[in-house]
Every structure is written in structure tokens, then in C-alpha cells.
Structure 1
Amino acid sequence: MSKLLQSVALAASMMLATAAVQAQELKIGFVNSERVLRESNLAKAAQIKLEAEFGKREKDLGAIETKLRAAAAQFDKDAPTLSEAERSRRQRDLVDQDRELQRKRREYQEDVNTRKNEELQAIVERANKVIKQIFDAEKYDLILQDAVHFSPRVDITKKVIDALNAQK
């Protein structure tokens, strides 16, 4: 009989422990990383910085493209009256100029992407520090980023953005 009482006591204590764990509610938060990278002052400042850094090169590429289009239009207009040798020479020049423009565009895009990734990485690092501070200060059990579905009740994105914006 004592074995039966021990089994019942063990089962009862296990049920109480399970009930106690279920009674403690988990504190979960969600952060929309894309929104942080779009709406925070750091992200906006980075965008302005990148535009200032690459604006001149972008304008220069646009000017080269405009000049090349004008030269191509002029070639099309002049082609019927040009000698075969002159037509071939000008056509090669246009092809060479186009190839050079495409090379410059690729270099420009690679440079922009590299700098953008550097700026985004800096923002992500600072955002992660802020998220960790919120996690510790408000005693979260779990903070998720980039979930498929989430309730607005657990969305702490605005809190993260506000904390980032408050930093200097």
C-alpha cells in the first residue's frame, strides 16, 4: 500500500509542478528588422550619407549615358551617308563606349552595395545591443526577429526604434 501512496504522491507533485510552470506566462517579444532598418534615424542618416557619397558618380554615369545615346542617334542619322570604313569605325567606337559605360556601372553598383552593407551592418549591431538591453531590462524570455506571423501584442519594434533614435 505504501508503494501506491508513493505513486499517487509522485503523480500529484508532478501535476502541481506542471500547473506551476503553465501558470508562469512566458514574456515574448517580436522585432521587425526590416522596419528598424527602414524607419530608424540611423537608417535614414545612412541613406542620406550614401546618397551624398555616391550622388556625383551616379550623375556622371547618367551624363555618359546621355552622351552615348546622343552619339548613337547621330550615328543612326549619319549612317546612310557614311563610307563603309567610317561607319565601321564609329560603330566600334560606340560599342567600346557602351562597354566602358557598363563596366563603370558594374563598379559603381558593387561599390554602392559594399557601402550599403557596411552601413546596414553597423545599424544591425546597434539594434541588437538595444534589443539585448530591452530583453534584460524588461525580463523577456524570448525576443524573435522576422517571424512569419505575430500578434501586435508582442511587437516591440517601435520600442527598439525609439531606443535607437534616443542614442547619440
Structure 2
Amino acid sequence: MKAIVQSTLAALVLAVFAQTAAAEVRVGFVNSDRVMKEAPPAKKAQQKLEKEFEKRDQELQRLAKQLQGMQEALEKNGMTMAEGERRNKEREFNELNRDFQRKQREFREDLNQRRNEELAGVLERANKTIRQIAEAEKYDIIFQEAVYASPRIDITDKVIKALTEAK
């Protein structure tokens, strides 16, 4: 729905600009996804997140292996164990599984929150850079979302280059 509204708005804006035949209109397009993947500040933010969450990720992997080992042992030896011992092992497995799922959920929530914080900073820098390019090169409008944009009006490479040089 959002894409339809934006596309309709873009078409409307372009139609209005088309009617003003007296002035030439400069239109640009920036692929935000490419900027957020390829620009050095975005890559740096991703590396920062990976480093920040590395230990927790390793802990989750260790717990997952431990759970898998416990499950395999229960499946393999469950029939030969005494009833009480089997119940204790199942209870221990279930407790560890709940702990694992809780830690995994918290990890995802924390990671998503931090990713949003980091990417918000990158997006702010990218938008500032886009504005600077627009003012310097006299663009009337620059779109960041479009169903289609001709390579002729795509200034994504300029934005990535400007962000690279702004280190």
C-alpha cells in the first residue's frame, strides 16, 4: 500500500513538473538499499554490530549444540534409562531449551534495536549527503523509492562515493 501511495505521489509530482514547461526539471534517484549495503559507514556499522554481538552469538551456538547433544542422548538412551532418571534428563532438557529460547529471543530483540540505532545514523548521514549533492548540482527532486528509475537519473554511485570520501 505504501509503495502504491508513493508511486502515485511520484507520478503526480512528475506530472506537475511536466506542466511547468518554462523551467527544466532535474530529477534524481537514490537506491537506499544499495547505499545501506555498500557505503563504508553502513559496512562499518555492520562490523561494529557483529563484534558487539559476537560473544552472545557464540554462547547461543554453544547452547544449541548442548541441547542437540542432550536430545540425541535422550533419544538413544531414553528407553534403557530408569523412569526417574529419564524424567530428570527430560526436565533438564526442557529447562535448558526454555533458557535457550529466552536468550535467543532477547538476542534478536537487542540486535534489531542496535541495528536500527546504527542504521538510523547511517541513514541520517546519507540523507545529508543526498541534500548536499542535490543543492550543489541543482536537483529539483530526488526520490529514494521508485518502481523504476532510469540509470540516467540514478545518483546512487555519487552518494556512495561522497560517503566514502567523507570518512
Does the TM-score normalized on the shorter chain lie above 0.5? yes
Structure 1 unpaired stretches of 5+: 1-19
Q: How does 1:7-156 map to 2 (within 5 A)?
A: 21-156=20-155
CA 1:124–1:106 in structure 2 vs 1: closer, same or farther (change >3 Å)?
A: same
Distance 1:64 1:29 in 2: 49
CA deviation vs aligned residue, 1:25-48 (integer Å, no higher than 9, x gap): 200000000000000001111111
Aligned length: 149
What's 1:159 paired with?
Answer: 158
Q: TM-score, normalised by structure 1?
A: 0.85
In structure 2, C-alpha distance between the alignment counterparts of 1:106 and 1:66, rounded to whole Å: 17
Task: Report the Cα offset of residue 24 of structure 1.
Answer: 2.4
State the superposition RMSD in angstroms. 1.3
1:146 Cα deviation from its structure 2 partner:
1.2
Higher helix share: 1
The amino acid of 1:155's aligned partner reads D
The AA in structure 2 aligned to 1:43 is: A
Q: Partners in 1 of 2:86 and 2:38 — Cα distance?
A: 54
In structure 2, the partner of 1:6 is none
Cα distance in 2, alignment partners of residues 63 and 37 from structure 1: 31
- The aligned amino acid for 2:106 is E
What CA distance in whole angstroms lies between the structure 2 residues aligned with 1:21 and 1:143? 18
Q: Which has the larger radius of gyration?
A: 1
Give the gaps of 5 or more residues in structure 2: 1-18
Moved over 3 A (4+): none
Q: Deviations over 1:118-155 (max 9, x none)?
A: 11100000001001111111111111111111111100
SS across alignment from 1:153: coil
Using structure 2 for the length normalisation, give the TM-score. 0.85
Letter in 2 for 1:26: V
Identity of aligned residues (%): 48
- Deviations along 1:93-138, whole A, 9 cap, x unmatched? 1111111100000001111101111111000000010011111111
Q: Distance in 1 between matches of 2:86 and 2:96?
A: 15
Alpha-carbon distance in 1 for matches of 2:20, 2:56: 61
Q: How far apart are residue 21 of structure 1 and its match? A: 4.2
Letter in 1 for 2:89: R
